[in-house]
Amino acid sequence: MLGTLLGAIAAIAIGDPVHAQTVVDTYFNDKTTPLSVADIQLKPVKKRPESLGIKTSAQAVFVADLATGNVLYAKDPHKVMPIASLTKLVTAMVFLDLKPDLNKTLVFQPEDFDGESKPVFKPGEEITYRDALRSMLVGSVNACAKALARTTLGEKKFVAAMNDKARALHLNTPIFVEPSGINPRNQSSAADVAALISSAVAYPEVKANAQFSEVTVKGKSGQSYLIKTTNNLLGSFLNKKPYTITAAKTGSLPEAGYCMAQITRNERGNQVVAVELGSENHFSRYQDIKALTSWAFDAYEWR
């Protein structure tokens, strides 16, 4: 629900902030819309009007309040670009929508390996769906995304379901051609990626895996595989009191640059979603998300 709201607001807020606020007010005042306690949040109000944001190296940036969808900062938020492994947020949602038995196992096949990313597992290895999902979300393992799609709906139908998922969330820019993000034709805008991760965090399995700095997966062969997180910010101040990272995904390709989407919560329960696409390098991506998030919490108060 919040991902859909955020997507709707993202589409109009830059050009018409008054209309955007009307959408927010309508959502929260519509008595036919079931609201949980978590949905009823205070609105962000800028306490430092002179602070205009953070200069970043990224081509596109979008920062918003998760609960209301209020846009806090944006830079070319509707520019459509390759999103690399941010694709896996949608892969996870489509997979989990199938209500799979996470104890079921899959066997990796040669076609699961793209030949470009460094392989973690080997053809013939067998692991559980739970471990495949965890490896995909924590370590961004491409073969796991491919195998999850292949062994459930088949890749063609699975990718169609990914595109259907984006449309169901009322997002127009996301386009997917495969489930891992290795193809630069997987594209979206930064604003719509914010809506995607805001929807994905509602899945307990996605939220739970956001906190793992590493996981160990044991294959049926008896071999153990150490999967390390791709999110270097787990060890930063954004994941220490008073902050907690509740969801995150990274991605990079030569055509996409360095990308990242992250949701961070403060001790009062306010959550900021920050997305950037096309950052210059591995380090600037993390510095930018860190700076954008801390700026948002410093420049705004929720009341």
Distance CA 252, CA 233 (A): 16
Distance CA 185, CA 32 (A): 39
Q: Is 146 a catalytic residue?
A: no
Q: Is 51 a catalytic residue?
A: no
Residue 279, both tokens: 């950052």
Q: How far apart are the first and last CA of the chain?
A: 22
Distance CA 155, CA 179 (A): 8
Distance CA 7, CA 166 (A): 10
* Strand order across the beta sheet in which 60-65 lies: 71-75, 60-65, 271-279, 257-265, 244-253
Q: Which of 88, 146, 165, 290 is catalytic?
A: 88
Q: Are 88 and 181 in contact (CB under 8 A)?
A: yes
Cβ neighbours for 226, distance < 8 A, ≥ 6 positions apart: 214, 215, 216
Q: How many C-beta atoms surround the C-beta of residue 187 within 10 A? A: 21
Give backbone dihedrals phi and psi of 244, rounded to 5 degrees, phi first: -145, 130
Residue 142, both tokens: 């491409």
Q: Is 140 a catalytic residue?
A: yes
Q: Which of 75, 135, 140, 146 is catalytic?
A: 140
State the amino acid at position 272 in one-letter form: V
Q: Which of 36, 43, 57, 85 is catalytic?
A: 85
Q: How far is CA 37 from CA 40, 41, 67, 271, 297, in A?
A: 6, 8, 11, 15, 22
Which residue numbers are catalytic? 85, 88, 140
